Amino acid sequence: MTVRRDVQGAVATLTLDRPDVRNAFDEAMTADLARELATVSIDDAIRCVIITGAGRAFSAGQDLRDRSADILAGRDLHLGEELRRRYFPLVRIIRAMPKPVVAAVNGAAVGAAFGLACVCDVRVASTEATFRAAWARVGLAPDGGAAFYLPRLVGWGRAFDLMLSGDPLGAEEALRIGLVTRVFDAAVFAEEVARFARSLAAGATLAFALTKQELERASTPSLDDFLELEARLQEQAGRSRDYVEGVRAFLEKREARFEGR
């Protein structure tokens, strides 16, 4: 299992557990996370869910080694279909879940993991956390629902800046701009997150679920329409020369030389 589930009282903690690769998402991890989310979603005894990472990172995002063989061999990629199959179920389960989902960002949250954090209802951060919207660094458009939710959290202009630059954002700056709502000292992060989650689990969770529905309905366009657009655009980006160059540069640990096509 690449995702651990720990239940304490009415709180379930799902831990991304590939610390040797900074909890990067491979096929197994997205499947495991979808299964665990579905399980806790229908368990009435669980009234709050935490998603966090093992070790020093929340998650480094998509594991590019999953795609490197196809890219280096010049084979076509179908990233739109990959999003529909692997990532969109995660987004839809979290947004439909009738209980609060807390992203407890304990370290770096990059790319797809940045998107996962944005999709959660609440984001709290360790003082050692960083956020990086790094898709453009490898020639891709944002995915995982990030472009739907990030502008609603921090504003359109700031979201666009973060996505274009791919620059890391520290915990205090994330708090200042509204990306996270609380920052806890790294030394006591797990304890503070657990205390916060227990307070949510002890609350009026039916009212929380209804509030979540209201906020979701207030978003336009619909999430489903947006996700389909995201898949089409990422399919286009995944066939670009820039994406091939971005992945090669990542694997070779050098700066990418993008051509804009």
- The 8 Å CB, 24+ separation contacts for 240-244 are 240/139, 241/139, 242/139, 243/71, 243/77, 243/138, 243/139, 243/140, 244/71, 244/139
CA of residue 149 relative to chain centroid, distance: 11
Tell whether the model's pLDDT for residue 226 goes beyond 70: yes
Q: What is the pTM of this model?
A: 0.87
Mean pLDDT of the chain: 93
- Integer Cα distance of 234 and 77 in angstroms: 10
Tell whether the model's pLDDT for residue 71 goes beyond 90: no
Give pLDDT, residue 220: 66
Give pLDDT, residue 190: 97
Q: How many residues does the chain have?
A: 261
- What confidence tier does 104 reach under pLDDT thresholds 50, 70, 90? very high
Give pLDDT, residue 107: 98
Q: Average pLDDT for residues 26-35, to the nearest whole number? A: 97
Tell whether the model's pLDDT for residue 250 goes beyond 70: yes
- Integer Cα distance of 166 and 31 in angstroms: 27
In SS3 terms, 12-67 reads as EEEEECCHHHCCCECHHHHHHHHHHHHHHHCCCCCCEEEEEECCCEEECCECCHHH
Per-residue pLDDT of 126-155, as tens digits, reads 999 999 999 999 899 999 999 999 999 999
Instruction: Give the homologous superfamily in CATH for domain 3-189+202-252.
Output: 2-enoyl-CoA Hydratase; Chain A, domain 1 (3.90.226.10)
